[in-house]
Structure formats: C-alpha cells, structure tokens
C-alpha cells in the first residue's frame, strides 16, 4: 500500500514538472512575440514620423536620421538611441527626384536585431526593412 502512494506522489511530481515546463515555455514565447511586435510597431511609427517631419523642412539627412534614432533633430552629446541596438548605419535617408513635383523623402531602417528571451532561440533575429516615403514640400508651413 505504501509503495502505491509513493509512486503516485512521484508521478504527480513528474506531471507537475512537465506542466510547469510547458507553461514557462509558452510564457516566454508570448513575451518574445510581444516584444517583436512592440519594437516593430515603435520603429514603424518612428520612421513614419521622420518621413513626415522631413517632408516639410529643408532636406538634411543627419537631422532626419537623428529623428529616427533619438526622436529629436538635435540630440545632446551623451544621448543614446531610443531603440536598443539601433545605430546610424541602420537608418538610410534619401531624397528622390529632387527639383520635381514628385520629389519625395525616403526613410529606411534595415537590419534591426531583436533579442529573444527564450533560451532555445536565444539569438538575434534581424527584422525586415521598414520604409516610409513622404512627398518633399519644404515650402509648406
């Protein structure tokens, strides 16, 4: 009789371990997906804002890049980028069709790395390129 009770306790502990492992794995997976979605949407909004902001001003690639990185055109000397791991090399800014009615500012963020919490995929994932385009009309208020 006592052996049966001990076996049941051991089986219950083994089952609890499996359930806890599955719960932790699911929780980490949800956190990883949520983090990717959060940062992706934040970067998309920052790129759109930079393109829109630059469409009404004289073209200056450095200022536009700073808006993407720091959310201001003139960051302080010790400023750090809003998004961890983002560098100026990841932000491409260009002015297309200059001097024509179809002039446009193109802002891109490429190769932004995401770091996962999950130990089984504890590596960096490089995001797809994010691009925003806005008509360049610097004479508007």
89-107 pLDDT, tens digit each: 999 999 988 878 888 999 9
Cα gap 89→138, rounded to integer Å: 26
Does residue 43 lie within any of the structural domains? yes
Number of domains in the chain: 1
Does residue 64 lie within any of the structural domains? yes
Contact 41, 114 (CB under 8 A): no
The SS3 assignment for 42 reads helix
Q: pLDDT band for position 109 (50/70/90)? A: very high
Q: How many percent of the chain have pLDDT more than 90? A: 42
Does residue 99 lie within any of the structural domains? yes
Question: Kindly report the CA angle at 69 between 91 and 43, in degrees rounded to 5?
Answer: 75
User: Which residue blocks in the chain are alpha helix, DSSP H?
Assistant: 2-55, 61-70
Does residue 141 lie within any of the structural domains? no
Does residue 58 lie within any of the structural domains? yes
Does residue 140 lie within any of the structural domains? no
Q: What share of the chain is helix, strand, coil (3-state, %, to 5)?
A: 50, 15, 35
Q: What is the pLDDT of residues 26-68, one digit of tens each?
A: 998 898 889 889 989 999 999 999 999 998 888 999 999 999 9
Residue 8, pLDDT > 80, answer no
Contact 53, 17 (CB under 8 A): no
Range of the domain at 69: 2-135
Q: What is the pTM for the complete model shown? A: 0.79
- What's the length of the chain? 141
Does residue 103 lie within any of the structural domains? yes
């Amino acid at each position: 009789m006592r052996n049966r009770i001990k076996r049941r306790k051991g089986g219950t502990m083994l089952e609890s371990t499996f359930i806890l492992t599955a719960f932790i794995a699911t929780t980490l997976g949800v956190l990883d997906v949520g983090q990717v979605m959060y940062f992706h949407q934040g970067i998309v909004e920052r790129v759109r804002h930079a393109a829109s902001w630059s469409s009404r001003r004289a073209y200056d690639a450095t200022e536009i890049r700073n808006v993407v990185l720091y959310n201001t055109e003139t960051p302080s000397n010790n400023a750090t980028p809003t998004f961890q791991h983002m560098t100026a090399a990841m932000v491409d800014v260009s002015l297309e069709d200059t001097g024509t009615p179809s002039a446009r500012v193109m802002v891109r963020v490429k190769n932004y790395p995401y770091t996962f919490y999950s130990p089984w995929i504890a590596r960096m994932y490089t995001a797809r390129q994010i691009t925003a385009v806005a008509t360049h009309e610097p004479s508007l208020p």
